Structure 1
Amino acid sequence: MTQDAFRALYERLREEARHGPDDRRGTLNHLTPARVVEATREVRTGRTVSLAALVETEPGPDNPDPAAHRMTGPHQQDIGTPGLYFARDRFAMNVHGDADSHLDALCHVLYDGALYNDVPAGSVTPDGATALTVDVVRDGIVGRGVLLDIPRLRGVPWLEPGEHVTADDLTAAEAAQGVRVGAGDLLLVRVGHRRRRREAGAWNAADARAGLHPEAVGFLAERRVAVLGSDSNNDTAPSAVEGVAYPIHVLTIHAMGMHLMDYLQFEELAPVCAQEGRWSFLCVVAPLRLPSATGSPVNPIAVL
């Protein structure tokens, strides 16, 4: 995609996504209370499936700055001795990496000197963000989740790094799986990143990964999707747009006000959906309450 075509798409999506000058929820406006109630009707068996990957503490080619976990208690001399002691630990994490499952807040993307809906970029300070933070979703995101499995559609175990998911892929996956993405849905797109990583080994995903083509964002806008998630970064690398490294992040978060979930895992969910013959479910997302943060580790749960 040329820079001019990208800019035209960006401007169109931005204009179509207007929810008023004071809006801070973006596409979550599509996820109305009535649609939440309707989503609960997706629950039939009560089976729950995690959509998050294990948090890793060892460095790798795609995770040079992994999460840090250390025990702070009890002291070794106290273990096995009479009395009461507590096991305690400390956890630190680089939220926006290329390995751990996380949610991007609307303050995550600064583009052309502003955040979503013309919120000044200066609202992101050295001490944290003051607007559009993950606190916008402090009450959680609950709605109808839809998984579109693109490797299944193409008859391959995974998409290779650099391959794009197009709008045609999304509509073809709908037809093949007998499901349709609708207003207020949480759209989850499987590219097979986690399976490839498990079977072929980790690689530098910052430089090469499968993801959506920018034109596919028009599908999200047309269907009025509330949230987008993937088992990759959502963006393809190398980028399809010269000069814009993360076009999907710019188009969704910045132009449309859409929260993203990156590096989820669907290797447990996809077989369950195939077995039950349905690809929609209740999806519950509960980010941590971090009032000035640009994102949060996340463990979405599918309830079938």
Structure 2
Amino acid sequence: MERRPTSRQEFDALFAAVRTWGRWAVPDRGAWNRVTPDRVRRAASLVRDGTTVPLGLPWNTRPGPDNARPALHYMSDLGDVEPPEPATYKDFIAVDYHGKGVTHLDALAHVGYRGQLYDGRPAREAVDAAGARFGSVAELGPLVTKGVLLDLPAVLGVDWLEPGRAVLAEDVVAAERALGVRIDEASAVLLRTGRFRRRRELGPWDVGEAGAGFHVEAVPLLAERGVSLLGSDGDNDVRPSPVEGVHSPVHALAVAAMGVPLLDNLELEALSAACAGVRRYEFMVVVTPLDVPGGTGSPVNPVAVL
């Protein structure tokens, strides 16, 4: 059934309802403040067989409809130097990572709404050509917490969610029930839509125009549970956007209202298989962004440990 678009007025009311501004003494870290040493110890207790699953995509240097700004990689030293030994071989990498082709973390400086970043900071004062003075990825540091995989295709008995499929609160609750997991405070919630299985079988498409992901109606439940991080094999937002005049409403609600960083473009196929193999959909997740002073995010290769 096609859903009625969410009006801007309804969206603004939702933004106000889930907002956590002023909650933490270190606002640059936002919801990562929920991850206390005790939460880290609890996450470590989820490790049973030691299986380690990387969640990042390969460095993507090939342009395509879902990789408009390819990463760079070239050799800068091929060892053709005079003695003494040893010869060395060096390479150069660079990336404009906020897009659809690179696994990356969105820090709190990445998203503003109505001229404000998280915690009500005026965006024009907080971010300029030199970088971010508030909400930088350098303020986040590493994250170790409980991860929960919402494997919607596995729950629904399909290979993937079709582009445009919105994940609602009722889908989240049904997935918890079917997979035997519970999203609780400080959890990192990872949504698998099957994007990369579909891509392998049917080829690439413009995921900025059509992609499965969270609907804004799912956000109040995630806010109520007190999540620390949201991630997906897409960019977390269902596309096209269901909100009039807001192209990435889940980004706005999560980052700018709730202070919840996002992981975009995760590779979750191996994790899906690993979780199905052990019949467990919770694990320890480790995210270590680059320490980039003033950076609005970072390329990452998160790791799930089962």
TM-score scaled by structure 1? 0.95
CA distance in 1, matches of 2:85, 2:256: 55
Q: Are residues 1:207 and 2:209 paired? A: yes
AA matched with 2:10: A
Residue 131 of structure 2 aligns with an amino acid whose one-letter code is: G
Q: 1:69 aligns with which of 67, 73, 78?
A: 73
Pairing 1:37–2:41 present? yes
Are residues 1:25 and 2:29 paired?
A: yes
> 1:198-226: CA deviations, max 9, x gaps?
21111111111111000101111111111
Aligned to 2:18: 13
Matches for 1:1-304 after TM superposition, within 5 Å? 1-14=6-19, 16=20, 18-20=22-24, 23-74=27-78, 77-78=80-81, 83-122=85-124, 123-138=126-141, 140-304=142-306
4+ residue runs of structure 1 moved beyond 4 angstroms? Answer: none
Name the aligned partner's letter for residue 182 of structure 1. Answer: D
Structure 2, unmatched stretches of 5+, are 1-5
Q: Distance in 1 between matches of 2:22 and 2:148?
A: 25
TM-fit CA distance, 1:27: 1.3
| 1:74 Cα offset (Å) | 2.1
Indicate conservation of the 8 Å contact 2:164/2:239, yes or no: yes
- TM-score by length of structure 2 reads 0.94
**1:84-138 CA distances to partner (integer Å, 9 max, x unpaired)?**
2111011010110111100000000121111100112122111211110101222
TM-fit CA distance, 1:18:
4.1
CA deviation vs aligned residue, 1:272-297 (integer Å, no higher than 9, x gap): 11110111111110011111111100
Matched-pair contact (CA < 8 Å) for 1:21–1:117 = no
**Which residue identity lines up with residue 119 of structure 1 in the other structure?**
R
CA RMSD between the two structures: 1.6
The CA deviation at 1:169 is 0.4
Q: 1:26-74: per-residue Cα shift (whole Å, max 9, x none)? A: 2112222111111110011111000111111011111121001010002
How far, CA to CA, are the matches of 1:11 and 1:82 in structure 2?
65
Deviation at 1:158, TM superposition (A): 0.7
In structure 2, what residue type is equivalent to 1:62? D
Match for 1:212: what amino acid? F
Instruction: Note if contact 2:21-2:120 (Cα within 8 Å) is conserved in structure 1.
Output: no
Q: Distance in 2 between matches of 1:141 and 1:82?
A: 43
Please give the secondary structure, in 2, of the residue aligned with 1:249. Answer: helix
**How many pairs are equivalent?**
300
Question: Which segments of 5 or more consecutive residues in structure 1 lack a partner in the other structure?
Answer: none
Q: Is the 8 A contact 2:143 2:287 kept in 1?
A: yes
